[in-house]
């Protein structure tokens, strides 16, 4: 599946697990494990959170979590992701810490905005939700381990050490922290400050 070819096989409010979902998760975790093996292991060991998936008007997959909260726009999530990524100036920024993964559309849009030369650090504490989303969306086309790093536990020194290793140049060139509003649930106040 190409990076923009989101799992269009599920156009219902289905959150069950199929062999297709397990294959997708396996591919995504293999890619993620190159730069963040402990994060991949945590996601693999987690039970998937309840996420109801739907196909938006633009064909992208969106998710709804408890209380009907959406992880991306229900109508145009890809356009929303591109608009979100425009807040980062690629001339002034070479390293971005993104608070929240949501459906991942905004992370892919950010990498495109940075011309795949900047480093994106993703902090998402809800590993169950990550498992659910990575079981349904193919991120392998854009999850380059040289450009994408992961943190799921802000207290885990090993994750931080691995995440920030070898990116000092990008950090000095310009670092920005941006929050993905639909992903805010799951972050405590200490993480957001």
Rounded distance between C-alpha atoms, residue 29 and residue 120, angstroms: 17
The model's pTM is 0.85
DSSP letter at 50 equals -
| Chain segment 39-73, per-residue pLDDT in tens | 999 999 999 999 999 999 999 999 999 888 899 98
Tell me the angle at which helices 77-85 and 105-113 cross, rounded to the nearest 10 degrees.
40
| Chain segment 70-124, per-residue pLDDT in tens | 999 888 999 999 999 999 999 999 999 999 999 999 999 999 999 988 999 999 9
Rounded distance between C-alpha atoms, residue 186 and residue 106, angstroms: 18
């Amino acid at each position: 599946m190409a990076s923009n070819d989101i799992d269009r096989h599920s156009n219902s409010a289905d959150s069950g697990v199929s062999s297709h979902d397990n294959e997708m998760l396996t591919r995504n975790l293999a890619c993620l494990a190159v730069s963040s093996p402990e994060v991949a292991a945590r996601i693999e060991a987690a039970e998937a959170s309840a996420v109801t998936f739907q196909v938006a008007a633009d064909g992208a997959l969106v998710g709804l979590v408890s209380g009907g909260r959406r992880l991306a726009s229900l109508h145009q999530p890809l356009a929303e992701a591109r608009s979100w990524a425009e807040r980062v100036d690629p001339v002034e920024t070479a390293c971005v810490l993104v608070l929240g993964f949501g459906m991942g559309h905004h992370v892919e849009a950010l990498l495109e905005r940075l011309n795949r030369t900047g480093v994106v650090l993703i902090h998402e504490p809800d590993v169950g939700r990550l498992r659910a989303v990575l079981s349904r969306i193919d991120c392998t086309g854009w999850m380059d381990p040289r450009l994408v790093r992961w943190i799921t536990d802000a207290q885990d020194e090993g994750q931080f050490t691995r995440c920030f290793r070898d990116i000092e140049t990008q950090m000095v060139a310009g670092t920005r922290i941006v929050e993905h509003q639909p992903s805010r649930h799951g972050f405590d106040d200490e993480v957001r400050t």
